């Protein structure tokens, strides 16, 4: 049985990866900086009240980036390992 090798990356694949990384990692930066400067101006103690908002923002941008690229590639989120219909089901 011959093993099926993945196809090599081309320019379009690299551009899509950069778009995804830009949305996912650079998109939340202004929001997180504004949140930290305005809401929590001083102190460096890690608490759930300080970290949860930034984690929610980061997660939202990761989902936005994945959803955006899934639309560009005309794929469902299931193919990326994010099954929306099974998100709230019992396991």
Low-confidence ranges of the chain (pLDDT < 50): none
pLDDT digits (tens, 9 = 90+) for 36-60: 776 666 666 777 877 888 899 999 9
Tell me how far the alpha carbon of residue 27 is from its chain's centroid.
10
Compute the distance between CA of residue 26 and CA of residue 74 in angstroms, rounded to an integer: 24
- Mapped onto helix, strand or coil, the DSSP state of residue 68 is helix
The pLDDT of residue 40 is: 61
Task: Tell me the C-alpha to C-alpha distance, in Å, between residue 78 and each of 7, 12, 14, 22, 74.
Answer: 21, 22, 22, 22, 12
Look up the pTM and report it: 0.75
């Amino acid at each position: 049985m011959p093993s099926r090798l993945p196809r090599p990356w081309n320019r379009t694949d690299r551009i899509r990866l950069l778009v995804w990384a830009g949305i996912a990692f650079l998109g939340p930066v202004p929001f997180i900086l504004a949140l930290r400067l305005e809401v929590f101006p001083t102190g460096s103690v890690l608490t759930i009240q300080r970290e949860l908002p930034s984690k929610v923002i980061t997660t939202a941008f990761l989902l936005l980036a994945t959803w955006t690229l899934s639309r560009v590639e005309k794929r469902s989120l299931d193919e990326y390992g994010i099954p929306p219909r099974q998100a709230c089901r019992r396991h």
